[in-house]
Structure 1
Amino acid sequence: MRNEALRQFLMVRRARITPERAGLPPPRDRRRVVGLRRAEVAALAGISTGYYKRVERGVVGGISASVLAGLAQALQLDDAERDYLADLVRAASSTRLGHPAPPAHAVRPFVRELLAATSLPCCVLDDRLDVLAANDLARALYLPLYESPDRPVNQARFTFYDAASRDYWGDWDAMADLAVALLRGSSGREPVDPGLTRLITELRTRSADFRTRWATFDVASDTAGVREINHPLVGRLTLETHSIPLPEDPGQRVLVHTPCPAAGTAGQLARLASCGADLRAGGVPRPRGRATPRSG
């Protein structure tokens, strides 16, 4: 299974690099392949064609860091893709029997206290994109996610199953791409996490949008960036998302959303905080009915 992921990743990345982009002379013959040939990747990486073919088949025992670096340079991988390649190679070359214990997903008490003490929307996300914990303002910000019938609250399930996500995310395609790329990166780091494997299998089965994106092998390792959110209670929000890994709990990260100054979002966040208090008291009616999951 892991060897197949390695083979497909290398093939997809090889197909994306044209000879011109790689700095090679224009081909003199008619090419039968899209992108680079195996021999061209091998030459760019400084290894033999036979060696590269074995790597693409998943025969990676004893592969050196310099060879991995050469392949990453030849295929023009970014940092997240380099890490994913290293993870796939590590998994393919592992001779350990059995499965390591899955990562812990409990949020430490001091992290929950930190969330509660923060005046900004703040939550804890794991490698499966489950929202493990959130302060009141984050729960108000993620109101449609909490209204969605799927549990646990999960950004990928919401994005691909709930029709409300199309309105909620200001740029749905960008958020869908990010969710898939994050899960792809997680699958390299945690290849035997049964919960992650079940989630990916479920998403591939139920959502054609997810399947299409999964086949591209795009990889991301960080959730930071700008989010455009169309909130059902306070309207359009432009937020900067900051991602803080929790080293003591690999796979968990704290997400902090801050308002973009030029977008006038600070006032809307203040209104949202007030709405959040009303929601806790049951005083704000739901802005819409529960959406039905989308199937692919």
Structure 2
Amino acid sequence: MDNRDEVCAFLKSRRAKITPEQAGLPVYGQRRVPGLRRGEVAMLAGVSVEYYTRLERGNLAGVSDSVLDALAQALRLGDTERDHLYALARSANTGPARGQRRPKKATVRPSVLRIVEGLHDQPAYLRNRRMDILAANPLARALHCELFETEPVNTCRFVFLDPRATRLYPDWDRVAREGVGVLRVEVAKNPYDRELSNLIGELSTRSDAFRTLWGAQDVHVFTEGTKRFLHPAVGEMELVHETLDLPGDDGLSLTVYSADPGTPAADALQLLASWAATRQQETAAEQSGAEG
């Protein structure tokens, strides 16, 4: 197994996105390919056409950082795309002996779990890089109530396979594109992760939308931003989210949603908390009645 196909598809997709005008190159006559030609990328990166052709065929083994930097500049890669290119190069140089080691199964430390559960007025959850949610506080479960109806809880599986996702996320296209981008980043870092491969295979088989977005080769890393929800009980709200990697837990990140005080979103969060509390009381009463 190697990542040549991943490298080839990524470089071709980035080359196709740049016009000669954007690269500051003159245009002569009819062009048969979208974006730049291989020779133009090679010239911009300061390498021979033969060498760049080798790279675009998927062979990044032994490529120096200086060449990767020149290639990233020639293709006008953003920070996340540049990091992705470096990850592809690292995987190419790692070799199957190390690469085939399965990633350690993520476990949530009790101290981290206490942090999540201690955020009473902010939805918070922990996830791994496959977008599995490993722990969540009650408010996060209430915000994503439909997502938590099925185990294991995976946000990409919900987005692409549950029709209710298009209602919960008014900006479904962006949510879907970003989720696929996160999986694409993870594939470059852990190309031999069997669970990740199984998830991508399942989504590719069952979702035309996922297949299309996966072929686009776009990458994404969650940091901060806003997300709109259309909650089945509370209605529309726009929340700020922050995603923080946990340095001591490789592959785990904490996502927290919040709203500025005095805003409609803050009122919606309070309403969501009341709805969640009522729902929890009803569930407890039902369980008590069943036991009685």
User: Is the shorter-chain TM-score for this pair beyond 0.5, marking a shared fold?
Assistant: yes
Query: What's the CA shift string for 1:138-172, capped at 9, x where partnerless?
Result: 1111101112x3x2111101111111111100211
Aligned-partner SS, 1:281: helix
What is the alpha-carbon distance in structure 1 between the residues aligned to residue 219 and residue 225 of structure 2?
15
In structure 1, what is the equivalent of residue 289 of structure 2?
Answer: none
Label 1:19 to 1:261 Cα distance change in 2 as closer, same or farther (>3 A).
farther
Q: 1:115 corresponds to which letter in structure 2?
A: V
Match of 1:118 in 2: 119
- Report the TM-score, using the length of structure 2 for normalisation: 0.92
The letter for the 1-side match of 2:106 is: H
Q: Does 1:274 align with 2:270?
A: no
- What is the rounded CA distance, in whole Å, between the counterparts of 2:53 and 2:93 in structure 1? 16
Q: Distance in 2 between matches of 1:115 and 1:95?
A: 38
- Structure 1 residues 8 and 264: CA distance shift in structure 2, 3 A: same
**Contact 1:59–1:93 (CA<8 Å) still a contact in 2?**
no
Q: CA deviation at 1:81?
A: 0.7
Alignment match, 1:91: 91
Shift of 1:40: 0.5
In 2, distance between residues paired with 1:47 and 1:222? 33
Q: Is the partner of 1:183 in helix, strand or coil?
A: helix
Q: Is the 8 A contact 2:7 2:59 kept in 1?
A: no
- The aligned runs of 1:50-199 (5 Å cut-off) are 50-97=50-97, 99-119=100-120, 120-147=122-149, 149=150, 151-199=151-199
How far apart, CA to CA, are the structure 1 residues paired with 2:261 and 2:51? 53
1:20 paired residue number: 21
Give the alignment's TM-score, normalised by structure 1. 0.91
RMSD: 1.6
Cα distance between partner residues in 1 of 2:263 and 2:203:
34
Aligned position for 1:3: 4
Change in Cα spacing, 1:167 to 1:96, as seen in structure 2 (3 Å) is: closer
Q: In structure 1, the residue corresponding to 2:97 is in which secondary structure? A: coil
Q: Distance in 1 between matches of 2:53 and 2:260?
A: 48
Counting matched residue pairs gives 281
Aligned to 1:293: none
What per-residue deviation string (whole Å, max 9, x for no partner) do you get for residues 115-136 of structure 1? 1111211100110111110011
Query: Counterparts of 2:235 and 2:261 in 1: how far apart (Å)?
Result: 16
CA contact (8 A) 2:72 2:82 kept: yes
The answer to whether the 8 Å contact 1:170/1:230 transfers is: yes
Instruction: Give distance in 1, aligned partners of 2:271 and 2:205.
Output: 39
Work out whether residues 242 and 256 of structure 1, in 8 Å CA contact, stay in contact via their aligned partners in 2.
yes
Deviates more, 1:98-107 or 1:183-192: 98-107
Give, as a single letter, the amino acid of the residue that structure 2 aligns with 1:138.
A
Partners in 2 of 1:83 and 1:103 — Cα distance?
22
After TM superposition, where is structure 1 displaced by more than 3 Å over at least 4 residues in a row? 260-263
Which string of whole-angstrom CA distances, capped at 9 and with x for unpartnered residues, describes residues 222-242 of structure 1? 253101000111111110010
Distance 2:184 2:265 in 1: 32
Q: Shift of residue 59 of structure 1?
A: 2.3
Residues 171 and 263 of structure 1: is their aligned pair in 2 closer, same or farther, counting only changes over 3 Å? farther
Q: Which amino acid aligns with 1:268?
A: A
